[in-house]
Amino acid sequence: MALRSSLGWPQVGACLFFCASLASGAESSDAYDDETAQEPEPGDEEEVDPKTKKPLSAGGLTAPEAMPESKDKRSEIERELDDADRKDAGRGLEFAWLELGVGYHWLAPAAFRDDDFLPDADSSSGSGLALAGAGGIRLLYFSLGLRFRYTPRADFSFYTLGPELAWRIPYGSWEPNALLGVGFAHLGGAKTADEQKIKGVGGLFARAAVGLDYYVSQTFSVGAQFAFDYTGLRRREQAELCDTTPCAYSSVGRASGYGLTSSLGVGLHF
């Protein structure tokens, strides 16, 4: 009673109106904040996981997209080998090879040195058809093989047999190569002026060659080669060939010369 008498009814009413206004303003502010939080700005929409339907953002940051799972289960080495196969026109690894060739062979066995090699022979040099066969193993850019080359002529025959080491450079279907070889050389069928055969003529050779092969398929190739041979030959003593004295064949004869061969060939690769 004392409070009502001191303030009066007009003051009490004004106080109640002021408190109601404050409460209404607070509710309006909360509603505005809720609406602002529920309505994002254009471009700020949250990403939703298509599987779980849950937002992928938190605190304004968007989770990165999941890395796609690779279907390639091969190791890095296997992928590199497959890429190399594609660059080499589908050629796979090669472990063995065979080759047949035919060409033209020019032979001068005493061009550099002639110490009574074939003094009474009809001919000690010439040219003719050359036949060759080779085979071996291969590891990446290198091959090791054995080559036989035969040159038949009317006045003599000549053949070589020996190992060779080649460096091969695959470039698509093409394959340039270079090789070195050594081995045994033999000259047979040479005759003296009176048609007696001279036997026991042989020695060593050293070869350097370059070539170019084209792989028609993974197992079949055609190619060309040019080779230079250095030959060192020795004739043994054959006094029985002589009817007169002094006899040119009663002592050992020696010679050194060269051979040039250009050839075409076909190859099989395994």
pLDDT of residue 11: 57
- What CA–CA distance (Å, rounded) separates 209 from 212? 11
**CB count, 10 Å around CB of 108?**
16
pLDDT of residue 179: 97
CB 263 within 8 A of CB 228: no
Q: What is the token pair recorded at 223? A: 């190619």
pLDDT at 50 over 80: no
Strand 61-62 versus strand 96-115 pairing type: unpaired
| 45 vs 6 pLDDT, higher one | 45
| Whole-number average pLDDT of the chain | 81
pLDDT at 241 over 70: yes
DSSP element (H, E) containing 234: strand 220-235
pLDDT of residue 85: 60
For the ranges 66-70, 90-94, 132-136, the lowest mean pLDDT is seen at 66-70
Say what the pTM is.
0.67
pLDDT of residue 40: 53
Of 227, 242, 230, 149, which Cα lies nearest the Cα of 196? Answer: 242
pLDDT of residue 244: 73
Cα 187 to chain centroid, rounded: 39
Per domain, the residue ranges of the chain are: 2-38, 93-269
Please provide residue 53's backbone torsions phi and psi, each rounded to the nearest 5 degrees.
60, 25
pLDDT of residue 4: 45
- What CA–CA distance (Å, rounded) separates 175 from 169? 5
Percent of the chain clearing pLDDT 90 (strictly above):
49
pLDDT of residue 206: 98
- What CA–CA distance (Å, rounded) separates 194 from 176? 48
Q: Which CATH architecture has domain 93-269?
A: Beta Barrel (2.40)
pLDDT digits (tens, 9 = 90+) for 158-210: 999 999 999 999 998 999 999 999 999 999 988 887 788 888 899 999 999 99
Q: Helix %, strand %, coil % for the chain, to 5?
A: 20, 50, 35
pLDDT digits (tens, 9 = 90+) for 217-237: 999 999 999 999 999 999 998
- What CA–CA distance (Å, rounded) separates 129 from 139? 32
pLDDT band at 70 (very low <50, low <70, confident <90, very high): low
pLDDT digits (tens, 9 = 90+) for 8-49: 555 555 556 565 655 555 555 554 455 555 555 555 555 566
**Backbone Cα Rg of the chain:** 48
